Amino acid sequence: MSITILALAKSFSSGRLTSSEFSNAYIELWRFERDNNLLQKDESSLSECLSSIFCVADLYNPDADREEYELDDEQLLSKVI
């Protein structure tokens, strides 16, 4: 089970990480687990949840000139929660 990735999302949700810290770390950990076939060991509901969080983390852009489809800090937090 991807306990580390899930714990990272919970830490972000509780305010222990900034959006940038969370987004960068989550994407890196998710890709590591994907590349090492660890995500395949998760239950389908957990796998779907973690993949969805990956997608929103990837859409995060801290810059003011973000595209309309990209997420700011508040939107990222809302989507992860």
Mean per-residue pLDDT for 48-54? 94
Domains, in order of start, for the chain = 3-80 (1.20.120.650)
- Whether 5 contacts 30, CB under 8 Å: yes
For position 1, what pLDDT does the model report? 57
What is the rounded average pLDDT of the residues 53-69?
96
| Dist CA 56 CA 12 (whole Å) | 13
* Per-residue pLDDT at 55: 97
Condensed to tens digits (0 to 9), the pLDDT of residues 8-44 reads: 999 999 999 999 999 999 999 999 999 998 888 888 8
pLDDT score recorded for residue 3? 86
Phi-psi group of 66: left, alpha or beta (phi > 0 → left; psi -120 to 50 → alpha; rest → beta):
beta
